[in-house]
Amino acid sequence: MRKIFFLLALCGITLTVQAHPRRLQKAAHNVSTNIVTAYTDSLKLLLDSIQRLEQPSAPSPYMFRLYAPGTVYSSALAQNMGTAVDPGDDAQLQLDAAINTRLNNAYVLFPVLFTGTEQQLINGGRFLTDLAQPAEEPVMLADQTEEIILPEVDIEAVEPEVKKPNFWTFKGNGSLQFTQSYYSQNWYQGGEKNYAMLSQLTAEANYDNQRRVQWDNKFEAQLGFQTSETDQFHKFKATSNLLRLTSNLGIKAVGHWNYAAQLQLETQPYKSYKANSDELTATFISPLYVRSSIGMDYIIKKKRFEGKLHLAPLSYVITYVHRDELISRYGINEGHHSKHDWGPNVEFTFTYRMWKNISWASRLYWFSNFHLTRIEWENTLNFTINKYISAKLFLYPRFDDSNDKYRAGENHDGTFLMFKEWLSLGLNYDF
């Protein structure tokens, strides 16, 4: 009769739950309450067994059934049908019986939660039958441990080593590029064969204490030569000729802005001459540009782009010429070796890694004393072939109306805009 009553109750409650959706929530609440109660009762039984027995039995591995996904276990059904072994005074069997009781309640109250059987777990190889076996060699805690005596240390005799953080970073690049051109004597457009070489060196020493002070120093050197068959006076002519040192001191203001003071020195290392003439056009410290300015810096640092915008409402530019014969070429009055200009100044420098092997370095400079204007835009595209070989494309438009004779219409073709470009292939190394 007990078996028949259980089966009828199971079928009747299942039909009632399916017919009344609201009862689903109440039944689910009862299941949760029953599971928590079973967990509490199981622990109580386990603690009672530990107190009664000198050698307590191991916790039942079947407690996982209370928390695992819904499965119908044969031991729970056997207990409800009255075919299970009487637990008697065995604490382990009492614990398993308490778990089975709670599982049977869940089977009846909310059968839709249980979608699998114990036999399916066994067939799938996910059911272990030896979990209740005790360990062959149980781990025992030691009753007493040996006392560890640490050697005495004279704290006063210890000299702490203080390492100051290094806020300096150093980097640079060196390259040696070559080009070669050949034209036959009857080439329809004319031209002359030539060989060209260009060497470049860039070195940076930057200080940044990550708080307020940032001091950037950059040294640039370029020296290039080209052969010319039509120039009877000079076997080699200088095509690139630059020495430039830029020092920028910034004090943190707000966000990306810094208060900044900049000093820049620029000249050339080698002499330059007019074609087919011994007339000197430039040499070392003739001219020498000394540019100083005070203003604000806006610093941009992103994944592939790093740039700095220097805005100086007040700048002071000294143009110095050491050689007397060059004074007139740079707008300096006769009897003087220097001239002084005041005005605003803007300079924008950036490096943009366009692709993995292509980078673009640029410098845009603008200065005006409200009477004369100078604009320089230097662009270098670097095409990296491997660690030691690269190709470079250099584009340099320049606007300068600072020469009085040039402004008067002498020694020019009617425009103040100049342009220089070269493309080369050669050695390249970053350090």
Residue 431 near residue 174, CB atoms below 8 Å:
yes
**Dist. CA 285–CA 282, nearest whole Å:** 8
**Dist. CA 355–CA 320, nearest whole Å:** 42
Look at residue 37 in the predicted model and tell me its pLDDT: 61
3-class secondary-structure state, position 275: coil
Residues with pLDDT less than 50, the chain: 1-21, 24, 50-51, 53-58, 188
Look at residue 32 in the predicted model and tell me its pLDDT: 54
Look at residue 194 in the predicted model and tell me its pLDDT: 78
**Dist. CA 114–CA 100, nearest whole Å:** 14
Q: What is the DSSP string of 344-402?
A: EEEEEEEEEEEETTEEEEEEEEEEE-SS-EEEEEEEEEEEESSSSEEEEEEEEEEEE--
Q: For strands 272-273 and 280-282, give the pairing.
A: antiparallel
Tokens for 211, please give them. 């708080």
- Segments in 256-353 forming alpha helices (H): none
**Dist. CA 258–CA 313, nearest whole Å:** 14
**Dist. CA 46–CA 94, nearest whole Å:** 9
**Dist. CA 58–CA 46, nearest whole Å:** 9
Look at residue 243 in the predicted model and tell me its pLDDT: 95
Look at residue 263 in the predicted model and tell me its pLDDT: 96
Q: What is the DSSP string of 127-152?
A: --S-TTSPPSS-----S--PPPPPPP
**Dist. CA 237–CA 86, nearest whole Å:** 111
**Dist. CA 183–CA 192, nearest whole Å:** 6
| CA dist list (Å): 62 to 85, 108, 285 | 16, 20, 92
For the entire predicted model, the pTM comes to 0.59
Look at residue 98 in the predicted model and tell me its pLDDT: 79
Tokens for 343, please give them. 């005005």
Tokens for 223, please give them. 């020296």
Tally of CB atoms within 10 A around 2: 9
Look at residue 22 in the predicted model and tell me its pLDDT: 54
Q: Which residue type does 85 have?
A: V
**Dist. CA 6–CA 139, nearest whole Å:** 45
Look at residue 115 in the predicted model and tell me its pLDDT: 78
